Structure 1
Amino acid sequence: MPNEERRKELGGIENLTEDKIDEILHNFLYYLKQDSLEVNGLQMMLPTYSVSKVSLNAHTQILARRYPKICINCVHPGFVNTDITWHTGTMPVEEGPEGPVMLALFPNGGPTGCYFDSTVLTKF
């Protein structure tokens, strides 16, 4: 999210609720239909992908907080050379699953509410 206000809105996980995420998504759809994304601080490049990804990440943190005994995390597989990247990705398809598979195989008590860039734990 390039807009500071939008980043704070979705990044303030301590105060974020499912209702707030729903409100943000509702507003996004309204702005999209009104062709007013940019004037409302939303990016123009792949806006639906960006908003859905950020919302999913925020919801993941909410669920991890609600269910602390379950490992609930986000993973970005990397810039994989697939149709979604118009085959401009720098990572071969064979390497894309490494992060998601690693997270799926975490033992009980593993990290939760985290974001992984492929196999590397990063901060939200």
Structure 2
Amino acid sequence: MASRIGVVTGANKGIGLAIVRNLALQYPKSPLHSGSFLIYLTARSTERGSEAVKVLNSDPALKKAKVLAQDGGDTTIKFQTLDISDVASIHAFRDFLKKEHPEGIDVLVNNAGIAMDGFNDKVVKETIHTNYYGSLAATQDLLPLIRPGGRLVNVASSAGHLNKYSAALQESFLSASKTSVSACSAVMEKFIEAVKAGKEKEEGFPSAAYAVSKAGEIAFTKAIAMEAEKEGKKVLINACCPGYVNTDMSKGNGTKTVDEGAETPVLLALGEIEGKTAGFWLSEKTIEW
């Protein structure tokens, strides 16, 4: 039985894969270090996810650091299927964790998400469905499994910064993030309706599905963190931007490496952030949303 359990979603490539690698590298020196560490690398595709585990098991940096159990270290990486755009898949994964780890888990990094080309109501619906509602369902379903002292990290984006919105909408987002998850969802539904009517610009939104989905993710993360704190749940819950990272999602245009992109999510998952919750982080510090 592993002492610590971590989960990273959307982890078969890019930033997700780098987050798993860096969790393994940093665990031995982290405040959460306590015996063995089992990380579930999750992805939609069994084939790609299993391949990613193989890649990490022979990763030169992990080999050199001797952090994996096979090399005498603490960490084991296993694959498990999870598609955050499918509620049944989220429920199945939650039930698997409950059965395998009734004692609970310690770290959840929600990294899964999509970035589609183009802008129309179909693109908007699908993007919000996965990035907002999928991330929300994964957060709400898996948060109850996180033990006291654990961490939940939602990988959002600076694309979700509020400087792209009208003053009235900025107020709507900020107010929703301090009110409830349903208030956050109402702002997302307003965007979907505005796009359908071809009026998103008039209503103060940018014509950008990914950006709005990530603003929504930051909002609900803050709302859930606030609720958890009120209930006395001792879990630190934060959203972050990994920075502009060179991955398939940025079409290779990013300026940061995937390992640099993993730094802030890994700090929030394992590092010294005592008592810091409900924040939006970039470059290892909280920033104004």
| TM-score (ref. length: structure 1) | 0.86
Kept in 2, the 8 Å contact 1:64–1:112? The answer is: yes
Match of residue 189, structure 2, among 7, 26, 38: 26
Match of residue 249, structure 2, among 84, 90, 99: 84
2:262 aligned with 1:97, yes or no?
yes
Change (3 A) 1:92 1:107: closer
Kept in 2, the 8 Å contact 1:10–1:16? The answer is: no
- Provide the rounded CA distance (Å) in 2 between the counterparts of 1:118 and 1:56: 19
For residues 78-112 of structure 1, give each alpha carbon's deviation from its aligned partner in whole angstroms, at most 9, with x where no partner exists.
01111222222111222111111111104684311
Match of residue 221, structure 2, among 45, 51, 60: 60
Moved more, 83-92 or 56-65: 83-92
- Provide the rounded CA distance (Å) in 1 between the counterparts of 2:178 and 2:285: 26
Larger radius of gyration: 2
2:239 aligned residue:
74
Change (3 A) 1:55 1:100: same
| TM-score (ref. length: structure 2) | 0.39
Greater share of residues in strand: 2
- More RCO (CA 8 Å, sep 6+): 1
Identity %: 27
Q: Aligned runs of 1:36-55 on 2, under 5 Å?
A: 36-44=199-207, 47-55=208-216
- Provide the rounded CA distance (Å) in 2 between the counterparts of 1:107 and 1:121: 13
For residues 35-63 of structure 1, give each alpha carbon's deviation from its aligned partner in whole angstroms, at most 9, with x where no partner exists.
2211111112xx21111111111111111
Q: Aligned runs of 1:5-20 on 2, under 5 Å?
A: 5-12=168-175, 15-20=178-183
Tell me the amino acid that sits aligned with residue 61 of structure 1.
K
Q: Aligned runs of 1:102-121 on 2, under 5 Å?
A: 102-106=267-271, 109-121=274-286
- Provide the rounded CA distance (Å) in 1 between the counterparts of 2:250 and 2:261: 13
What secondary structure does 1:72 align onto?
A: strand
Report the count of equivalent residues.
122
Tell me the amino acid that sits aligned with residue 223 of structure 2.
I
Moved over 4 A (4+): none
- Provide the rounded CA distance (Å) in 1 between the counterparts of 2:165 and 2:187: 16
Kept in 1, the 8 Å contact 2:177–2:222? The answer is: no
